[in-house]
Chain A
Amino acid sequence: MTLPTPHNSPPARVHPGSRVRPVKVLTYLALGTLGALFLMPFLWALSASFKTNAEIYDFPPRLLPNPFHPENYRIAVSVLPFAQFAVNSLVITVACVIGQLLSGSLVAYSFARLRWPGREFWFVVLLGTMMLPPQVTMVSTFVGWTQLRAVTGVEWVDTFKPLILPSFLGGSAMLIFLMRQFFKTLPPELEDAARIDGCGTWLTFWKVMLPLSRPVLATVAVLSFIAHWHDFLGPLIYLSSVDKYTLQIGLRMFQDINGTRMNLLMAASMIVLAPVLVLFFSAQRYLVRGIVLSGIKG
C-alpha cells in the first residue's frame, strides 16, 4: 500500500519539447501559487501568535514578528484551565478510538466474512446511514440522554458517556465500511488454516484477522482520533460544567473572554491545533490509505 503516485499519469508526449516547456512552467507556477495560498493562513496565524496585540493591528501587517513574544503562549494557557481541557479532550478522544477499533472491527468482520441471513439488507442500511446528517437525530438523542436519568437515577448529560458510548456501538459507518473493504482483500486461506487448527470464529478473528489488519486499524485510529478531537457540536450540547470542557469548547470560551486580544487567541488556537498537526505529519500515509481503501468506484 503506498501513497498515490503518478505511476500511470498520461505518458509524456514524444514530440520534441517546444510546446511542453511552457506547460511545465505554468504547472509549477499554478502549484506554487496555490501552495502559498494554502499555507498562508497558518503562517499569518502563527505570526500573530508571537506578536504583541499592538503589533497585530499595525498597518501594513508584517509576517515576521519583531521581536518574538513567546510569552503569549504562557499567558494564554494561564487564563483558562487548558491543561484540564486537554486531559478531557484526550480522555474522550482516546476512549472513542478504542471503542471504534473494538466494535467497528467486529462488525466489519461480520459484514466481510461471516454468513448470516439478512447480512445484505443490513449492509445497505449501514451504507444508508452514511448519508444521514447526524443533526437529524441530534435533538431526540439528546432528549433520550436527559430522560435516561429518570430511568436510571444517575445523570448522563454533562458526563462523557453520551460522547463516548456511540463509538463502542459501531461508531462511524464510514470507518466500519473502510475496515470491511480491507478484510475483503485478505486471502481467506489464512482463516481456513486457523479453522482447521481448531480455532473458532472468535479466535480466528482475534488471532489471525486482527494482527493482519494492523494497517487498516492504524488508519481507522487516526481518522477517528481527528474526528473526535475536532468534535465541537457534541461537547457543546452535552457538557455544561467548565471542568468537563474539551479543548474546542475551551477555545470558544477563551474567545468570549479574550476576543479582542488576537495574539493570545492565536496562541491558544495554535496550542489546540498542535496535536493534530503532529499526528498529521507522522501519520499522513495512514490518512491517505483511508482514501485509497474506500475505493470509490460507483
Chain B
Amino acid sequence: MIPRNDPALWKKKRRTARWWRETREGYLFALPWLAGFFLFTLGPMLVSIAMSFSRWDGITPVSQMQWVGTENYQRLFTDDPRFLKALSNTAWYVMWAVPFGTLNALAMALLLNQEVRGQAVFRTLFYLPSVVSGVSTSMMWLWLFNPSFGPINYALAKLGVPPAYLPGWLTDEHWAMSAFIFMSLWGVGNSMLIYLAGLQGVPVHLYEAADLDGATPWVRLRHVTLPMLTPTLLFNLIMGVIGSFQTFTQAFVMTNGGPNDATLFYVLYLYQKAFQQFQMGYASAMAWVLFFIVMALTLALMGSSKRWVYYEGER
C-alpha cells in the first residue's frame, strides 16, 4: 500500500517551475533538428506516399495530379523491364561490393594493426580515396578503365593477358558492373579505419590468455580477434548495404547507365524517371520500394546479429 502523502509520488506528479523550464529549454535547443525532421524527412516521406499513388509531371499545378491507386507499383513489377534491370543490377552490385569491400577493409586493418613501420603513411594512403569521392575521381577511373589505352589494361597485358581477352570494362556490358565493383574496393578506407579502431578496442588480456594457452596466430585471429570485431562488422555491413544502394555519381558520370543498361543503378533510374522524364508519381513509388528494400535488409542484418555478433559482457 502506498502512503497517501508519499513525497516521491508527489514529485512525479507535480510539474514544478523547474520542470517546465527544463522542458522548454530542451525542446528549444532541439528545435532546429525537430523542425528539420518534420520539414525535410517526415513531411516529404508522407507527401511521397501520396505521390506514389498518383500520376503527375511535377510542372503543371498540383491540381492536375491524378489519383491512380496502386498502378505505379503494379507497373514497376509487371510492366517495366528497365526497373527490374536496375533493381537486379544494384542487388548484384551490393552482393559483391559489400562482401569484397568488407574483406578488403578487414585485411588492410589487420595488416595495419601489426607493428609495422610507416603505419601512418599506409593508413593515409588507404584512407585518402574514400575521402575524395565525387565527380573528379569518377573521371580518373574513366581514364584508368580505358580499354585500349588505359593503365589497367596495360598492366593486364604486361601480366600476360592476350589482347583478345583484355576486358572492355565500361564499354562492355558484361564487364561494366565488374568495373564498378572493382572501383568500390578503392573506397573502403573509411570502414578500414572503423575496423582499425575496433581492433584497438580488443583487450590485451585476451591475447595474453590465448598466448598462455599456446594459441597459434590463426587461432588467435579466429577465436579472439574476429569475435571481438563482430559488432564493428555488423555496423559496417549495414552502412555498406545502405551506402551501396545509393550509388549514383559514378554511374551518372562514367556510363550514364550504359552500355545497354548494364550499369543502370537504382538511384540513377530514379533520377531519370523524376528529373528527366518528369514522372514524379512513378519516381515516388520507386523511392518507397527503395525504402522498403533497405529497411528489410537492415532489419534482416540486425535480426541475424543474435547468431553471430558477440557482445562482451553478455553471457
Instruction: Name which residue of chain B comes closest to A10, CB basis.
Output: B207
Contact with B along A212-229 (1 / 0, CB 8 A): 000000000000001001
- How far apart are B193's CB and chain A's nearest CB, in angstroms? 5
Q: Which of B139, B231, B283, B284 contacts A265 (CB 8 A)?
A: B139
Instruction: Name which residue of chain A comes closest to B155, CB basis.
Output: A40
- How far apart are A76's CB and chain B's nearest CB, in angstroms? 12
- Complex: A273 Cα to B138 Cα, angstroms: 11
- A132 touching B291 in the complex, CB below 8 Å, given contacts A6-B200, A137-B45, A296-B197: yes
In the bound complex, do residue B197 and residue A4 qualify as a contact, i.e. CB atoms below 8 Å apart?
A: yes
In the bound complex, do residue A298 and residue B231 qualify as a contact, i.e. CB atoms below 8 Å apart?
A: yes
- How far apart are B307's CB and chain A's nearest CB, in angstroms? 15
Contacts of B25 in A (CB 8 A): 110, 114, 116, 201
Contacts of B203 in A (CB 8 A): 8
- Please provide the chain A residues from 255 to 278 with a CB less than 8 Å away from any CB of chain B in the complex: 255, 262, 265-266, 268-270, 272-273, 276-277
Interface flag for B29 (CB, 8 Å): yes
Main secondary structure of the interface of B (DSSP, over half): helix
In the bound complex, do residue A137 and residue B22 qualify as a contact, i.e. CB atoms below 8 Å apart?
A: no
- A7 touching B200 in the complex, CB below 8 Å, given contacts A170-B36, A170-B37: yes
- Complex: A211 Cα to B96 Cα, angstroms: 45
- Please provide the chain A residues from 175 to 219 with a CB less than 8 Å away from any CB of chain B in the complex: 176, 201, 205
- A132 touching B200 in the complex, CB below 8 Å, given contacts A11-B211, A170-B36, A273-B136: no
Interface flag for B175 (CB, 8 Å): no
- A45 touching B26 in the complex, CB below 8 Å, given contacts A126-B33, A291-B193: no
In the bound complex, do residue B139 and residue A266 qualify as a contact, i.e. CB atoms below 8 Å apart?
A: yes
**Total B residues in contact with A, Cβ cutoff 8 Å:** 109
- Complex: A271 Cα to B54 Cα, angstroms: 44
Contacts of A288 in B (CB 8 A): 127, 193
Chain A interface category by residue count: 35 or more
Contacts of A292 in B (CB 8 A): 197
Instruction: Kindly count the residue-residue contacts between A and B in the assembled complex, taking CB atoms under 8 Å apart.
Output: 297
- Please provide the chain B residues from 86 to 133 with a CB less than 8 Å away from any CB of chain A in the complex: 107-108, 111-116, 118-129, 131-133
In the bound complex, do residue A143 and residue B58 qualify as a contact, i.e. CB atoms below 8 Å apart?
A: yes
Which of B294, B298, B309 has its CB near the most chain A CB atoms (within 10 A)? B294
Contacts of A252 in B (CB 8 A): 135, 252-253
- How far apart are B308's CB and chain A's nearest CB, in angstroms? 13
Q: Which of B30, B39, B151 contacts A111 (CB 8 A)?
A: B30
Interface flag for A107 (CB, 8 Å): yes
- Complex: A124 Cα to B198 Cα, angstroms: 24
In the bound complex, do residue A276 and residue B207 qualify as a contact, i.e. CB atoms below 8 Å apart?
A: no
- Complex: A42 Cα to B202 Cα, angstroms: 34
- How far apart are A182's CB and chain B's nearest CB, in angstroms? 15
Interface flag for B186 (CB, 8 Å): yes
- How far apart are A97's CB and chain B's nearest CB, in angstroms? 15
Contacts of A40 in B (CB 8 A): 151
In the bound complex, do residue A28 and residue B116 qualify as a contact, i.e. CB atoms below 8 Å apart?
A: yes
Interface flag for B274 (CB, 8 Å): yes
- How far apart are B101's CB and chain A's nearest CB, in angstroms? 14
- Complex: A7 Cα to B271 Cα, angstroms: 47
Contact with B along A1-24 (1 / 0, CB 8 A): 001111111111100000000011
Q: Which of B207, B220, B270, B280 contacts A135 (CB 8 A)?
A: B270
- A291 touching B194 in the complex, CB below 8 Å, given contacts A41-B140, A45-B143, A141-B40: yes
Contacts of B275 in A (CB 8 A): 142, 237
Which of B22, B40, B144 has its CB near the most chain A CB atoms (within 10 A)? B40
Contacts of B74 in A (CB 8 A): none
- Please provide the chain B residues from 200 to 226 with a CB less than 8 Å away from any CB of chain A in the complex: 200-204, 207-208, 211, 217, 220, 225
**20 more A-B residue pairs beyond the given contacts A41-B186, A110-B29, A169-B39, with a C-beta to C-beta distance below 8 A:** A6-B112, A11-B204, A35-B122, A41-B144, A110-B25, A116-B26, A131-B295, A136-B48, A138-B287, A139-B51, A143-B280, A166-B36, A176-B33, A229-B134, A233-B267, A233-B271, A266-B139, A268-B139, A291-B194, A296-B197
Residues of B within 8 A of A (CB): 22-23, 25-27, 29-30, 32-37, 39-41, 43-45, 47-48, 51, 58, 62, 107-108, 111-116, 118-129, 131-137, 139-141, 143-144, 146, 148-151, 154, 186, 190, 193-194, 196-204, 207-208, 211, 217, 220, 225, 231-232, 235, 238, 242, 245-246, 248-249, 252-253, 267, 270-271, 274-275, 280, 283-284, 287-288, 290-291, 294-295, 298, 309, 311
What are 10 sample pairs from A and B whose C-beta atoms fall under 8 A apart?
A6-B115, A9-B113, A104-B33, A116-B27, A125-B37, A137-B44, A140-B45, A143-B58, A294-B194, A296-B235
